Amino acid sequence: MSKSLADLRANRPNRVAESSTTVCLAPDLIARMQELGEELGNLTVAPATDEESDGPPRRLSGPREDPRAAEIRKEMAALLEEIADNEGQFRLRAVKTDGEWRLWCNANPARQEGDPGYERDLRVAAGHCNADALIDDLGTYVAAWNGDPLEGSDWDDVFKASVGLPDKAQMASNVVSMYEVRLDFPQWRSNLSANLKRWSDLGSLVPSASLTGGSTGGSPEPSSEATTGTGTESP
């Protein structure tokens, strides 16, 4: 049940919107994984034959895999573990008040049609502000990495050079969403409840031993990068 007005008067809400973005700090590993995947897909599978028989080779029941395929899969498995070690979540927090955000947008307006960066402002910031300026200002909103609060110049010293531009663009889009996009809470709760029930039903049908942490059964709606208005208290 929702809190009463009296409860809210006694304990005034002091929370701000937050959002999370998952990134990999080693994009070179992603590139290598893509190369291996393409190589694996291009390998030819030779038909297996009975080389010990006399006369023309006879086709056997199954194909013979290229030995390189096993090597590729082994390297990809090792890469997946390394990628996981370099993957994490940035927690973004709307530290600016609504008025401060509006003033900042006014001081950094979206570019006009025909100007360089116009399309980028639409794609990243939905036309609310200059996307490049917001990306440069991301350190204002990054509050934590995997739950650990950032301090001082952590964003500039530790993360800024390691986070790829596409990830920075996604983070900037999430900042805009915290201020400009309303989450339909009734629909969000309904979707989440439906997913929880589906998972519960699945758990009652499948032995628990098979539901490991590596399950890929999906993620709750909205995704982990969805913005919420129920973040931690503003500092």
Which of 10-14, 142-146, 197-201, 212-216 bottoms out in mean pLDDT, i.e. has the lowest? 212-216
- Rounded to whole angstroms, how far apart are CA atoms 144 and 147? 5
Give 176-205 pLDDT, tens digit per residue. 999 999 877 677 678 888 888 888 777 665
175, 134 Cβ separation under 8 angstroms: yes
Please give the pLDDT value at position 180: 95
Sequence-separated (6 or more) residues with CB below 8 Å from residue 131: 110, 117, 120, 121, 123, 124, 125, 169, 172
Please give the pLDDT value at position 189: 76
Please give the pLDDT value at position 167: 96
Ranges 15-19, 41-45, 64-68, 214-218, most confident: 15-19
- For the four alpha carbons of 90, 96, 99 and 101, in that order, the dihedral sign comes to negative
Higher pLDDT, 22 or 65: 22
Which residue type, as a one-letter code, is found at position 194? A
- Give first-to-last CA distance, the chain, whole Å: 28
Please give the pLDDT value at position 56: 62
Please give the pLDDT value at position 184: 73
The whole-model pTM stands at 0.70
Closest CA to 18 of 92, 101, 115: 92
Give 37-95 pLDDT, tens digit per residue. 999 999 866 555 555 555 665 555 556 778 899 999 999 999 999 999 999 999 999 99
Interval 17-32 mean pLDDT: 92
* Residue 90 host element (H or E): strand 87-93
Give 106-165 pLDDT, tens digit per residue. 999 999 999 999 999 999 999 999 999 999 999 999 999 999 999 999 999 999 999 999
H helices of the chain, in order, are 5-10, 27-42, 67-85, 98-107, 118-125, 131-136, 154, 165-180, 185-205
Interval 33-40 mean pLDDT: 94
